């Protein structure tokens, strides 16, 4: 199967599951009787264990030839892990299974991104168009699950995720052409430690961690905040879907309109969007304000993520791309979000929507951090 079709289906299946998990997992936990503070701790622990999972799994992938077998194994283990949530709702079982599931399942994200970034270089793949397939699937899932929760209850969050994981496992076994190829010398040079020695990579990771970490309040507690304000599960699903519609538009515009901008410019635009968005979501639960805030998701997440892709594909040598992808997923999309999500869980009950103003403070340092424009050849 051509790389575009394979990755479009893979991203579609992954983000369908993520579209059920990210907006609604807190509601599933609430539905089985878990307190807001414990939900914050569980979500934070899950995000934290991603750090270990991403680094341990991605750290063992020394070349692109390992990516497909690892993807298939992770799909199988992810399905088995989430099936475990049917067995018991005992608190310690939930804690243990949360750690196991979040060690395995989220690692599919950097593995898939590593496949995509390799195909950008190897087969001139249009990353934005492939990635928007995942965003579209996220919309379908969040809208579907919102309606299912509103009509049949929160049990359908887990049912939908398991169905999506089964589909992803089946899709992962389709053949990929061209197969990911190792670059000469890549296996010898690619290591997390060597990659971290680069000042540019360290600064990139800090910027990404602040931008993506500032989404912690949104990812973990927006659904609960909006539900407390009187919105139904269906409306919450539509709000999340609207954010991803904006994301799709931005990904679709990437190659045609954003391709001329480098990582630094995209990061600054993303930071500005974060400030405006978190102020809006923290100030009001009026529907018009929420709609405007959700439209800014295309800036806060998508533009920031495209900045990360620019950095990895344009400013890094090929042998550093896979380890940097692992570090980006572990720190930018994992550890920072985990720490901030745990903090949000502690202060959510007294502050409510005020937690979004904490996210504004998180993102402010991005405005003074700078990346040096550097070609892969210079980086070698």
Domains of the chain listed by start with CATH number: 3-178+192-379 (1.20.1250.20)
The SS3 call for residue 125 is coil
Token pair listed for 235 = 């409306």
DSSP 174-217: S--BSPP-PPTTHHHH--HHHHHT-HHHHHHHHHHHHHHHTTHH
Per-residue pLDDT in tens (0 to 9) along the chain, 380 residues: 888 899 999 999 999 999 899 888 888 998 898 887 888 888 878 877 877 887 788 777 767 778 889 999 999 999 999 999 999 889 899 989 989 998 999 889 888 888 888 887 777 778 888 888 888 898 888 889 988 988 888 899 999 999 999 999 999 999 888 877 766 555 554 577 778 888 899 999 999 999 999 999 998 889 889 999 999 888 888 898 898 889 888 888 887 777 788 889 999 999 999 999 999 999 999 999 999 999 999 999 999 999 998 898 888 777 777 788 878 887 777 778 878 888 888 888 888 899 999 999 999 999 999 886 655 444 43
Cα-based distances in Å from 82 to 87, 99, 103, 143, 166: 10, 11, 12, 21, 11
pTM for the whole structure: 0.75
Token pair listed for 219 = 């990812």
d(CA 368, CA 366): 5
d(CA 155, CA 145): 10
d(CA 71, CA 169): 9
The single residue listed with the structure tokens 């299974």 is: 97
Can you name the residues that pair with 356 across neighbouring β-strands? none
């Amino acid at each position: 199967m051509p790389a575009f079709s394979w990755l479009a289906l893979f991203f579609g299946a992954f983000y369908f599951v993520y579209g059920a998990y990210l907006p609604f997992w807190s509601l599933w936990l609430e539905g089985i009787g878990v307190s807001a503070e414990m939900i914050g701790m569980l979500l934070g622990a899950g995000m934290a264990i991603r750090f270990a999972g991403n680094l341990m799994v991605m750290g063992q992938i020394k070349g692109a030839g390992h990516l497909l077998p690892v993807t298939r194994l992770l799909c199988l283990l992810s399905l088995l892990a989430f099936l475990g949530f049917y067995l018991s709702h005992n608190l310690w079982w939930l804690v243990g299974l949360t750690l196991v599931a979040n060690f395995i399942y989220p690692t599919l994200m950097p593995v898939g991104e590593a496949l995509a970034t390799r195909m950008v270089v190897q087969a001139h793949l249009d990353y934005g168009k492939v990635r928007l397939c995942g965003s579209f699937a996220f919309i379908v899932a969040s809208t579907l699950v919102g309606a299912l929760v509103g009509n049949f209850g929160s049990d359908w969050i887990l049912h939908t995720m398991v169905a999506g994981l089964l589909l992803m496992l089946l899709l992962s076994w389709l053949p990929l052409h061209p197969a990911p190829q190792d670059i000469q010398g890549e296996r010898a040079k690619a290591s997390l430690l060597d990659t971290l020695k680069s000042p540019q990579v360290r600064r990139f990771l800090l910027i990404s961690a602040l931008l993506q970490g500032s989404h912690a309040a949104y990812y973990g507690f927006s659904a609960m905040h909006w539900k407390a304000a009187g919105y139904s599960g269906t409306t919450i699903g539509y709000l999340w879907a609207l954010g991803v519609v904006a994301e799709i538009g931005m990904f679709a515009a990437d190659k045609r309109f954003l391709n001329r901008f480098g990582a630094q410019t995209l990061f600054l635009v993303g930071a500005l969007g974060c400030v405006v968005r978190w102020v809006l979501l923290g100030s009001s639960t009026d529907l018009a304000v929420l709609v405007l805030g959700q439209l800014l998701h295309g800036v806060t997440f998508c533009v920031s993520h495209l900045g990360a892709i620019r950095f990895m594909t344009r400013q890094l040598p090929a042998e550093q791309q896979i380890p940097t992808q692992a570090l980006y997923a572990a720190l930018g999309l994992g550890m920072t979000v985990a720490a901030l999500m745990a903090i949000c869980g502690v202060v959510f009950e007294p502050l409510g929507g005020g937690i979004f103003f904490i996210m504004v403070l998180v993102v402010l340092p991005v405005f003074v951090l700078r990346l040096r424009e550097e070609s892969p050849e210079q980086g070698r």
